[in-house]
Amino acid sequence: MCGIVGAVSRRNIVPVLVQGLQRLEYRGYDSCGLAIHGASAASVAGNASKGLTRARSTARVAELLSQVEAEHIVSGTGIAHTRWATHGVPAVHNAHPHFSHGPNAGSEPLARVALVHNGIIENHDELRAHLQAKGYVFASQTDTEVIAHLVDSIYDGDLFAAVLAATQQLTGAYAIAVMHKDEPLRVVGARSGSPLILGVGKDGSDAANPNPEGEHFLASDAMALAGVTDQIIYLEEGDLVDLQLGKYWITDRTGKPVQRTVRTVQAHSGAAELGPYRHYMQKEIFEQPRAIADTLAGIESIAPEMFESVNLPPPGQGAHATFKAIDSVLILACGTSYYSGCTAKYWLEDIAGIPTQVEVASEYRYRTSVPNPNQLIVTISQSGETADTLAALRHAQSLGMTHTLTICNVATSAMVRECKLAYVTRAGVEIGVASTKAFTTQLAGLFLLTLALAQARGRLSPAQEVAHLKDMRHLPVALQAVLALEPLIIGWAEQFVAKENALFLGRGLHYPIALEGALKLKEISYIHAEAYPAGELKHGPLALVTSAMPVVTVAPNDALLEKLKSNMQEVRARGGVLYVLADADTRIESGEGLNVIRMPEHYGALSPILHVVPLQLLAYHTACARGTDVDKPRNLAKSVTVE
Which residues does the annotation mark as catalytic?
A: 2, 638
What is the C-alpha to C-alpha distance for residues 462 and 164, in angstroms, rounded to an integer?
A: 58
| Contact between residue 594 and residue 469 where contact means Cβ atoms under 8 Å apart | no
Among 121, 124, 101, 105, smallest CA distance to 113 is for 101
- The per-residue b/e assignment along 213-248, b for 16 or more CB within 10 angstroms, e otherwise, is bbbbbbbbbbbbbbebbebbbbbbeebbbbbbbbeb
CA distances in angstroms from 606 to 12, 96, 385, 478, 566, listed in the order given: 52, 46, 28, 11, 24
Among 321, 353, 601, 363, smallest CA distance to 485 is for 601
Among 8, 4, 5, 3, smallest CA distance to 243 is for 8
- The per-residue b/e assignment along 381-408, b for 16 or more CB within 10 angstroms, e otherwise, is bbbbbbbbbbbbbbbbbebebebbbbbb
**Could you give the residue ranges of the DSSP H alpha helices within 326-474?**
335-347, 361-364, 387-398, 414-418, 437-456, 462-473
What is the C-alpha to C-alpha distance for residues 474 and 603, in angstroms, rounded to an integer?
A: 10
SS3 225: helix
What is the C-alpha to C-alpha distance for residues 201 and 230, in angstroms, rounded to an integer?
A: 9
What is the C-alpha to C-alpha distance for residues 356 and 512, in angstroms, rounded to an integer?
A: 15
What is the C-alpha to C-alpha distance for residues 580 and 378, in angstroms, rounded to an integer?
A: 33
DSSP state of 218: E
What is the C-alpha to C-alpha distance for residues 190 and 237, in angstroms, rounded to an integer?
A: 9
What is the C-alpha to C-alpha distance for residues 185 and 76, in angstroms, rounded to an integer?
A: 8
CB-count exposure of residue 211 (10 Å: 0-12, 13-18, 19+): middle
SS3 200: strand
Q: Is 205 left (phi over 0), alpha (psi -120 to 50) or beta?
A: alpha
What ranges make up the beta strands (E) of 9-97?
31-37, 52-57, 77-83
